[in-house]
C-alpha cells in the first residue's frame, strides 16, 4: 500500500515563528502536493513539485515556501506564521500526469497559530 506520512498530526505555534511541515512518501512518486483545508472552502493547493528541486505555485502560495531535496520528501515552510494560517494541512503524492493519475493523501496536520 502507498504510504504518505506527515510529521505531526497536531501542532501549536506562536505568531511569527518559522514552521516546518514534513511529508514523506514511500512509493517513488514523482509528484508531491501541499493543500490546506478550511471549513466552507474545501481543499486548496498551496504548492506542488513534479521532481526533485522543482516546484510550482498553486492557488494560494502567499506566506508559504517549499523544499524538495529528495524525491520522497516534500517540506512546507511557513516563514513567519500568522493566525490566518491556522488550518488543516494535507500532503499528497502521485505518479503520472494526465487525467488518470491518483493522488494519495497523508493523514493531515492540524496547525494552530496563536
Partner 1 sequence: DAKTTQPNSMESNEEEPVHLPCNHSTISGTDYIHWYRQLPSQGPEYVIHGLTSNVNNRMASLAIAEDRKSSTLILHRATLRDAAVYYCILRDGLTGGGNKLTFGTGTQLKVEL
* Shorter beta-carbon distance to partner 1: residue 77 or 88: 88
If you search the block for the grid coordinates 494560517, which residue do you land on? 85
If you search the block for the grid coordinates 496536520, which residue do you land on? 109
Binding mask 83-102 for partner 1 (x = CB under 8 A): -------xxx-x--xxxxxx
Q: How far apart are CA 91 and CA 89, in angstroms?
A: 7
The strand pairing partners of 110, in sequence order, are 10, 88
Q: Interior CA angle at 64 toward 48 and 93, to 5°? A: 25
Q: How far apart are CA 114 and CA 14, in angstroms?
A: 5
Binding mask 13-52 for partner 1 (x = CB under 8 A): ------------------x-x------x-xx-x--x-x--
Binding mask 54-83 for partner 1 (x = CB under 8 A): --x-xx------------------------
- Is 11 near partner 1 (CB under 8 A)? no
15 contacts 107 by C-beta, under 8 angstroms: no
**Residue from the set 11, 63, 71, 105 that interacts with partner 1 by CB under 8 A:** 105
Residues that bind partner 1 (CB under 8 A): 4, 31, 33, 40, 42-43, 45, 48, 50, 56, 58-59, 90-92, 94, 97-108
Amino acid at each position: 500500500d502507498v504510504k504518505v506520512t506527515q510529521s505531526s498530526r497536531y501542532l501549536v505555534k506562536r505568531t511569527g515563528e518559522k514552521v516546518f511541515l514534513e511529508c514523506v512518501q514511500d512509493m517513488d512518486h514523482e509528484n508531491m502536493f501541499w493543500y490546506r483545508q478550511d471549513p466552507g472552502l474545501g481543499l486548496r493547493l498551496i504548492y506542488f513539485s513534479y521532481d526533485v528541486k522543482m516546484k510550482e505555485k498553486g492557488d494560494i502560495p502567499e506566506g508559504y515556501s517549499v523544499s524538495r531535496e529528495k524525491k520522497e520528501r516534500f517540506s512546507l515552510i511557513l516563514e513567519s506564521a500568522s493566525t490566518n494560517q491556522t488550518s488543516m494541512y494535507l500532503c499528497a503524492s502521485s505518479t503520472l500526469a494526465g487525467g488518470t493519475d491518483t493522488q494519495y493523501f497523508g493523514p493531515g496536520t492540524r496547525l494552530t497559530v496563536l
